[in-house]
Amino acid sequence: MSHDISALRKFVSPEIVFGAGSRRSVANFAHNFGARHVLLVSDPGVADAGWVGEIESLLTEAGIQSTVFTGVSANPKVEEVMTGAELYRSSECDVIVAIGGGSPMDCAKGIGIVATHGRSILEFEGVDTITNPPPPLILIPTTAGTSADVSQFAIISDPNRRFKFSIISKAVVPDVSLIDPEVTETMDAYLTACTGVDALVHAIEAFVSTGSGPLTDTHALEAIRLINRNLEPLVSNTADPYLREQIMLASMQAGLAFSNAILGAVHAMSHSLGGFLDLPHGLCNALLLEHVVAYNFPSAEDRFRRVAEAMDIDTRGMNTREIKKRLMNRIIELKRHVGLEARLAQLGVTTSDIPYLSGYALQDPCILTNPRKSSLKDVQVVYEEAL
């Protein structure tokens, strides 16, 4: 009896503590890892919002020293990872805590890798390249969308190549994720929209991915449902704690889905864009989403019907052409309601950039699990439609 190994599915996730106030258990978890000196990774915006100071004092009260590193830009760069790792080493740290959005969390993952290998972060591009276990990692997300806190991805920018590369490994799944909706109260409406649509893209791409399976599907569909119902109201009222919690939950479920099912062409193309023009990742995803859905639709019609149903579209009696039209209209409408309707041309992308962007998109590991195979020409056409 032969078993097809490709049908097997594994599911990795950190230990998750979800709910208002969960960040306050940070010292407890650090203590469980035997922390004496924590490297606290964040960025200037999160520090200004007061969260870094709070985490620092929680650690201090528990008798744990900390060194703060906030030298992280919006797309974390190779040299920022290396600087952070040097600080980790020179301060003799033993545990990493990161509080912030995707960038500080990805940077912290990179720092952990370099800290135990002593080599450039560039050497770890790709899948399963990590041999030494990184130090214990505790992540506290301040945005509801990137899901770096539950994923086996770290995305780092290489300014020399103007390229964002992916590190994919079980080793970068954090040990603990403290998912605290209270921390997202300092997000403005624009960041809420960007990261919320990022989470929607994670969920849709994970659901139609060739790596999807029953363990990821339930998370993906529930995330789509929650975002479809709650993101627009949250963007118009970012102070509502119930709506914040719903989107934070959606982001977590989308993250558990995509970390295990992997993603697709939206992310491959968006990583390429973000590396080339240093744009916000969620915005790149948003601008490409419906164009990639249109491209992928014929290869996953039944899956997209279920996505449409999760977006509260009643598909009974509709043919596939109608379903596709209704789904795309709903995506475009949601984006318009949350204020993300720019096009690539408005962000400075020109026709002559497209071959370059397409070449890098095809090198991104996310393209491999896209439901429809993509040639260079295919990717170029989708970029052109989004211009």
Tell me the backbone φ, ψ of residue 179, rounded to 5 degrees: -100, 105
Residue predicted with more confidence, 355 or 341 = 355
Are residues 230 and 258 located together in one domain of the fold?
yes
The predicted-structure confidence for 248-266, as pLDDT tens digits, reads as follows 999 999 999 999 999 999 9
Domain boundary among 184, 214, 242: 184
Are residues 145 and 244 located together in one domain of the fold?
no
The predicted-structure confidence for 141-158, as pLDDT tens digits, reads as follows 999 999 999 999 999 999
Domain boundary among 184, 210, 232: 184
Euclidean distance between CA atoms 340 and 240, whole angstroms = 21
264: in domain: yes
pLDDT-derived band at 79, boundaries 50, 70, 90? very high
Euclidean distance between CA atoms 227 and 239, whole angstroms = 17
Are residues 170 and 247 located together in one domain of the fold?
no
335: in domain: yes
Tell me the backbone φ, ψ of residue 350, rounded to 5 degrees: -115, 165
Reported in sequence order, the residue ranges of 19-90 that DSSP labels E, i.e. its strands, are: 37-41, 65-69
Domain count, the chain: 2
263: left (phi over 0), alpha (psi -120 to 50) or beta: beta
Domain boundary among 184, 206, 235: 184
Domain, as residue range, for 163? 9-184
Specify the pTM: 0.96
Are residues 87 and 195 located together in one domain of the fold?
no
The predicted-structure confidence for 159-171, as pLDDT tens digits, reads as follows 999 999 999 999 9
The predicted-structure confidence for 120-143, as pLDDT tens digits, reads as follows 999 999 999 999 999 999 999 999
Please report the pLDDT score of residue 6 as a whole number. 64
User: Looking at the chain, how many residues does it have?
Assistant: 387
CATH of the domain at 55: 3.40.50.1970
1: in domain: no
358: in domain: yes
Are residues 179 and 196 located together in one domain of the fold?
no
CATH of the domain at 209: 1.20.1090.10
Are residues 147 and 211 located together in one domain of the fold?
no
Are residues 196 and 179 located together in one domain of the fold?
no
Are residues 89 and 233 located together in one domain of the fold?
no
Are residues 210 and 297 located together in one domain of the fold?
yes
21: in domain: yes
2: in domain: no
Are residues 218 and 345 located together in one domain of the fold?
yes
The amino acid sitting at 203 is A
283: in domain: yes
* Residue 5 in this model has a pLDDT that exceeds 60: no
Which positions ≥6 away from 114 have C-beta within 8 Å?
A: 81, 82, 85, 120, 121
The amino acid sitting at 114 is V
Q: How high is the mean pLDDT of the chain?
A: 96
327: in domain: yes
Are residues 171 and 48 located together in one domain of the fold?
yes
Across 264-291, average pLDDT:
94
Are residues 85 and 159 located together in one domain of the fold?
yes
Across 184-206, average pLDDT:
96
